[in-house]
Amino acid sequence: MIVFLWVVIGIIVLLGLGLVVSYNRFVSQRTLIKNAWANIDTELRRRYDLIPNLVETVKGYASHEREVFEEVARTRSMAASTTGSPAQQAAAEGPFVAALGKLFAVAENYPELKANQNFLALQSELSNTEDRIQASRRFYNANVQGYNRRVQSFPSVLVARSFGFKEEEFFEIEPALRAAVEQAPRVDFGTGGGAGPTEPAPPAPDATPPAPPS
């Protein structure tokens, strides 16, 4: 009888420890997701800060393209003021990215602009910023994937339901818009014989995804 009692107590203790470990892991994963999202937001803000100078530089050569400049300013303002969920931020990024693509399309028509050192420097910095955005996005989505898998899996789903851990949103944009993000800043602005833009830095390697769910 005493042995049976100790076995029962041992099982209860193990279950309790398992509950604590699973709960703490959920908390750690959720904190990591929040930090990863903060990194994305930082890089997006960096890009927003670059755009006014880029627009002013293009204006110096294509001042009549007022409609494009106004669209960039309007969509940038909307995207920068969005403070909702990752899905809401992605939706706001779409029009801004499309407008940014139009701005670079305008720049292609002006050889003197394409040789402007200030423009080349801004283009290079924007390209590097896009690399960091994509690396941060992949890191964030990898952590969301691992976290959501645990929320859905047994037995961790029991802990998730008991303590209110819910699935997190991925940060994704439509494929066409993602292509514009990745390609528009990488337009070849070289002039043939002159000095071309600084070669953009390669994308940062993806961080190691979270460990498999328990």
> Domains in the chain, start-ordered, CATH in brackets?
2-186 (1.20.1440.20)
| pTM assigned to the model | 0.77
Q: Using CA atoms, how far apart are residues 114 and 62, in angstroms rounded to an integer?
A: 12
User: Angle formed by the axes of helices 175-183 and 117-152, to 10°?
Assistant: 140
User: Is the model's pLDDT at 159 over the cut of 90?
Assistant: yes
In degrees rounded to 5, what are phi and psi of residue 151? -60, -30
The Cα–Cα gap between 100 and 184 comes to 8
Rounded Cα distance, 159 and 112, in Å? 62
Check: CB of residue 126 under 8 Å from CB of residue 185: yes
Three-class secondary structure of residue 189 per DSSP: coil
Which pLDDT score, from 0 to 100, does residue 199 have?
A: 37
Q: Report the pLDDT value the prediction gives residue 213, as an integer from 0 to 100.
A: 45
Record the tokens describing residue 8, joined without a space. Answer: 């029962």
Q: Are 103 and 55 a contacting pair, CB within 8 Å?
A: yes
The rounded mean pLDDT for the chain is 83
Token reading at 184 = 């528009």
Three-state DSSP at 28 gives helix
Would you say the C-alpha torsion 102, 108, 114, 120 has a positive or negative sign? positive
In a 10 Å sphere around its CB, with 0-12 CB exposed, 13-18 middle and 19+ buried, how is residue 50 labelled? middle
CA distance linking residue 150 with residue 28, whole number of Å: 13
Percentage above 70 pLDDT, the chain? 81
- Percent of the chain past pLDDT 90, that is, above it, reads 62
What confidence score (pLDDT) does residue 180 get? Answer: 56
Residue 137 reports pLDDT greater than 90: yes
CA–CA distance, 192 with 196 (Å, rounded to integer) = 8
CA distance linking residue 194 with residue 111, whole number of Å: 11
